[in-house]
């Protein structure tokens, strides 16, 4: 499954999608999801101060996933190896999913990384409900629109009655 959104200048919409994706992967534990935008793995930007030294924009493709509602990072090499090849090719989606399904506990992103991302999306549900209510209650019902004179539009509108 894939999707594309246009969020314009409102990055809160983009982060709300992150919130939704996290909740969907929590609800459907067999589902893994990755999110990127024109900046690449933008979740990592939020946690930049806490990332491992080996992780950079050039090698982060297909390494950041939500799985079972938690943020996971696919390493460059086996965790027990001392040296990482920073130029290592990105895993394919199939390879990454195989790793997630068999070693998800090992691949859980470090606590400070998860905290930075989760902090960014915390409160988005209540914020979005507030914005939805504000926008919904700001709608007006148009009774008789005078299309010949748009300036009369304001005279022919009244707030909707929300019982």
Interior/surface letters 119-158, b for 16+ CB within 10 angstroms, e for the rest: ebbeebeeebeeeeeeeeeeeeeeeeeeeeeeeeeeeeee
- Mean pLDDT in the chain? 77
Total structural domains within the chain: 2
Structure confidence at residue 145 as a pLDDT band (50, 70, 90): very low
- Do residues 134 and 75 both lie within one domain? no
Structure confidence at residue 9 as a pLDDT band (50, 70, 90): confident
- Per the CB < 8 A criterion, the answer to whether 123 and 131 are in contact is no
Q: Is the pLDDT of residue 129 over 60?
A: no
pLDDT given at position 126: 57
Structure tokens at 45: 């930007």
pLDDT given at position 84: 56
Q: Is residue 105 part of a domain?
A: yes
Q: Is the pLDDT of residue 140 over 90?
A: no
Q: Is residue 141 part of a domain?
A: yes
Element (H, E) at 42: helix 42-46
- Do residues 29 and 80 both lie within one domain? yes
Q: Which domain holds residue 21?
A: 11-122
- Do residues 50 and 91 both lie within one domain? yes
DSSP letter assigned to residue 45 = H
Please give the C-alpha separations between residue 25 and each of 5, 7, 10, 20, 29, in angstroms, as whole numbers: 19, 22, 24, 9, 6
- Per the CB < 8 A criterion, the answer to whether 134 and 32 are in contact is no
Task: Write down the residue that tokens 């010949």 correspond to.
Answer: 148
pLDDT digits (tens, 9 = 90+) for 44-99: 999 999 999 989 888 899 999 999 999 999 998 755 444 555 556 789 999 999 99
- Do residues 64 and 138 both lie within one domain? no
């Amino acid at each position: 499954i894939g999707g594309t959104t246009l969020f314009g200048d409102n990055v809160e919409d983009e982060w709300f999608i992150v919130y939704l994706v996290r909740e969907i992967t929590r609800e459907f534990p067999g589902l893994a999801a990755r999110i990127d935008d024109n900046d690449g793995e933008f979740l990592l930007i939020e946690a930049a101060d806490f990332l491992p030294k080996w992780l950079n924009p050039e090698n982060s493709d297909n390494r950041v996933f939500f799985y079972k509602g938690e943020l996971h990072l696919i390493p460059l090499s086996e965790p027990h190896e001392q040296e990482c090849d920073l130029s290592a090719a990105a895993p394919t989606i199939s390879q990454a999913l195989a790793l997630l399904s068999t070693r998800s506990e090992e691949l859980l992103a470090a606590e400070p990384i998860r905290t930075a991302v989760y902090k960014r999306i915390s409160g988005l549900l209540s914020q979005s409900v507030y914005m939805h209510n504000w926008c919904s209650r700001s709608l007006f019902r148009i009774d008789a629109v005078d299309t010949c004179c748009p300036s009369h539009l304001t005279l022919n509108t009244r707030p909707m009655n929300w019982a």
